[in-house]
Amino acid sequence: MSDYNSIPAFIGVDWGTSKARFMLIASNGEVLDERTGPGIASLAGVDAIQAACCAGVGAWVLRHADIPILMCGMVGSNIGWRTAPYLMTPVGVDALARDPVRFEYQGRQLFIVPGVETMRLDGAPDLMRGEETQIFGALAEGKGLACLPGTHCKWATVSGGQITGFHTALTGELMALIGKHSILLNSRNAPHATASEAFTAGVQAIQSRPVGLETLLFTVRSLQIKGELSVASAADYLCGLCIGADVKSALTLYPHETAITLIGTPALTSLYRAALHMFGREAHVVNGNDAVVSGLTQIYMNSLVS
Amino acid sequence: MSDYNSIPAFIGVDWGTSKARFMLIASNGEVLDERTGPGIASLAGVDAIQAACCAGVGAWVLRHADIPILMCGMVGSNIGWRTAPYLMTPVGVDALARDPVRFEYQGRQLFIVPGVETMRLDGAPDLMRGEETQIFGALAEGKGLACLPGTHCKWATVSGGQITGFHTALTGELMALIGKHSILLNSRNAPHATASEAFTAGVQAIQSRPVGLETLLFTVRSLQIKGELSVASAADYLCGLCIGADVKSALTLYPHETAITLIGTPALTSLYRAALHMFGREAHVVNGNDAVVSGLTQIYMNSLVS
């Protein structure tokens, strides 16, 4: 006999731009089974998305006829399956659970978690879709500063169980663009996933001068020309400059947030953790996959069950 | 009868990465004839460079058998014709004139102006090749802050007729990379060459917040999604962010330089002038082509003639 807690309660789907993760989840948040699928960006239209979903959840729906499917991420964008709204900050888990997009497909209930929008401290709007679920999954105490490194790095303030504000930094995309196309790197090697000496030097360069990334990037080239930076280390130094600039700006925006939680892949969170340490801040690290499961389970428990 | 001053004194060549400009120049700096040719980056090896030079100066050398050829720019780099050294700052026109690379080709004297290197205020090395000639050509009084916008924007301090320091910002290359490859722009239109409302908004965004470009770039996208920025204006806003960040960093590095000279193409100098104005600084503008001619003539008069 199976433990009651291990009975499948819902199918959770973390469906982002570049990949999908389908999970059979128990009400205690245990992942009973799991498979991956293609991201929204590689699926042209709703028919392809439906087919990918069927492939992802196929075996489970036959065995568990009545459990719902709860999805978050770009699946709710205008290139996704159905467009889910953006809820304006402050937003709690209860609001996300109250207002999902609900629809039926092949007789099954589907739900897409809304995105979140905010007015940044600089007066511009900002948006997230998928990260809200990770944030609630990772910040168990419902307060602190969350940082989700990636192509578009999100920094979010959380207070009283609500996301109160956030901003997006283009760090990952900038690093990739510069690494791939600019004149700065001769060798197109990826940066190391640990904080090397060159990474540290990049963060220090940002830290020590009151100037921006655009003004320091050329040193990736000039240091190589003068023999002060090896071709093999240049990607690490560039990575240090980019992550250093991101962290410096974020700590300027949120100077009083001391409880910082990093959410993401081990490679990226370890580099951000090292950079934060150099700015005198320690960070708690949560695996991004675990955070999604926990967030989806909270949203499910908050409303779908009741 | 020709005025004595209009007798050809030398052939000046401004030979950069992307194009060459060959000029028949009188000792008073008058350009008597002119033609363009391919840049160093498109010429594979010394043979191709020699052939391009012959094509550029061909007609003149037959008529003016004994005048020298004075070149500046990437022609003196390790992908150029001959490698000219970098002279360490402070560097005056006299030093550039004293130490060119000299060699003979088909019985004619050729000279390549050295580049300049410096130790930046942030402790990293920096390099220029070609800009030094423009700076001496443009700053007639031998003092002030020179800004040469472009793919790699140079900011140089000049005092007592010498370049005392400088730094390179990657502004133009960043703008091009983001404009071409990133998710920020839907329409790949080039920014306008005049300071539009969207350009001004971009500079203001940089000006009003103590954060870096990496943290503000995503607003190019979020403002479009929320309908606050038109697709057609997005490139201008992006341009305002990039140039604004460059100007802000430079004025932080050189807070006491009030005499600013912009050297370059009318399109770029007008945008930088507008951004500088928003930071409360006025700038004098010199056309980059005129600056090269004046600089080459000064270097010629300083040494080759004597």
Q: What is the pLDDT of residues A166-184, one digit of tens each?
A: 999 999 999 999 988 888 8
The SS3 assignment for B183 reads coil
Q: Give the contacts of A255 (CB within 8 A, at least 6 positions apart).
A: none
- Position A5 scores a pLDDT of 63
Cα distances from A35 to residues A31, A160, B74, in angstroms, run 11, 34, 54
The SS3 assignment for A138 reads helix
Confirm if B13 and B53 have CB atoms less than 8 A apart. Answer: yes
Pairing of strands B144-148, B31-38: unpaired
Degrees to nearest 5, angle at CA B184 with A210 and A179: 65
Q: What is the 3-state secondary structure (H, E, C) of B113-169?
A: CCEEEEECCCCCEEEECCHHHHHHHHCCCCCEEEEECCCCEEEEEEECCEEEEEEEE
Contact B177 A181 (CB under 8 A): yes
Q: How many CA atoms lie within 13 A of B285 on its CB side?
A: 16
DSSP state of A298: H
| Nearest by CB: B214 against A121, A242, A252 | A242
- Residues in chain A closer than 8 A to B127 (CB atoms): 222, 225
How many other C-beta atoms lie within 10 A of the C-beta of residue B111? 24
Separation between Cα atoms, residue B69 and residue B103, nearest integer Å: 10
- Centroid of chain to Cα B154: 7
- On whether any CB of chain B is under 8 Å from the CB of A121, the answer is yes
The SS3 assignment for A51 reads helix
Contact B219 A121 (CB under 8 A): no
Model pLDDT for residues B58-115, shown as the tens digit of each residue? 889 888 888 999 999 999 998 899 999 999 999 999 999 998 999 999 888 999 999 9
Separation between Cα atoms, residue A153 and residue B207, nearest integer Å: 22
- Position B1 scores a pLDDT of 40
Over residues A97-120, the mean pLDDT reads 94
| Nearest by CB: A214 against B127, B171, B183 | B171
- Residues in chain B closer than 8 A to A215 (CB atoms): 167, 169, 245-246, 249-250, 253
Over residues A30-43, the mean pLDDT reads 95
Separation between Cα atoms, residue A277 and residue A270, nearest integer Å: 10
Which residue do the tokens 């709703």 mark? A46
Model pLDDT for residues A128-160, shown as the tens digit of each residue? 999 999 999 999 899 999 999 999 999 999 999
- Asked whether residue A22 carries a pLDDT value surpassing 60, the answer given is yes
Which residue do the tokens 């999100």 mark? A154
Confirm if A80 and A38 have CB atoms less than 8 A apart. Answer: no
- On whether any CB of chain A is under 8 Å from the CB of B47, the answer is no
- On whether any CB of chain A is under 8 Å from the CB of B212, the answer is yes
* Residue whose C-alpha is closest to residue A215's, from B147, B248, B279, B177: B248
Distance from the Cα of B219 to chain A's closest Cα (Å) equals 6
For chain B, list residues with pLDDT below 50.
1-2, 305-306
Residue window 128-157, chain A: list those with CB within 8 Å of chain B: 152
Question: Confidence band (pLDDT; 50, 70, 90) for A3?
Answer: low
- Position B182 scores a pLDDT of 86
| Residue to test with chain B: of A170, A204, A225, most B Cβ within 10 A | A170
Confirm if B116 and B86 have CB atoms less than 8 A apart. Answer: yes
Structure tokens at A18: 């570049």
The C-alpha R_g of chain B, in whole angstroms, comes to 21
Contact A126 B222 (CB under 8 A): yes
- On whether any CB of chain B is under 8 Å from the CB of A255, the answer is no
Over residues A9-26, the mean pLDDT reads 95
Confirm if A174 and A216 have CB atoms less than 8 A apart. Answer: no
Dihedral (C-alpha) B192, B198, B204, B205: value to the nearest 10 degrees?
Answer: -110
- Position A306 scores a pLDDT of 45
- Asked whether residue A1 carries a pLDDT value surpassing 70, the answer given is no
- Position B306 scores a pLDDT of 45
- Position B65 scores a pLDDT of 81
- Position A191 scores a pLDDT of 78
- Position B83 scores a pLDDT of 95
A126, β-bridge pairs: A118
Q: Give the contacts of B54 (CB within 8 A, at least 6 positions apart).
A: B106
- Asked whether residue A36 carries a pLDDT value surpassing 70, the answer given is yes
- On whether any CB of chain A is under 8 Å from the CB of B218, the answer is yes
Confirm if A267 and A290 have CB atoms less than 8 A apart. Answer: no
Cα distances from B10 to residues A161, B2, B68, B71, B94, in angstroms, run 75, 16, 5, 10, 18
- Length of chain A equals 306
- On whether any CB of chain B is under 8 Å from the CB of A77, the answer is no
Model pLDDT for residues B150-159, shown as the tens digit of each residue? 999 999 999 9
Q: Give the contacts of B18 (CB within 8 A, at least 6 positions apart).
A: B39, B41, B42
- Residues in chain A closer than 8 A to B228 (CB atoms): 124-125
Model pLDDT for residues A181-203, shown as the tens digit of each residue? 888 887 666 778 788 999 999 99
- On whether any CB of chain B is under 8 Å from the CB of A212, the answer is yes
- Size of the A and B interface in Cβ pairs below 8 Å: 151
- Taking CA–CA distances from B215, the nearest residue in chain A reads A169
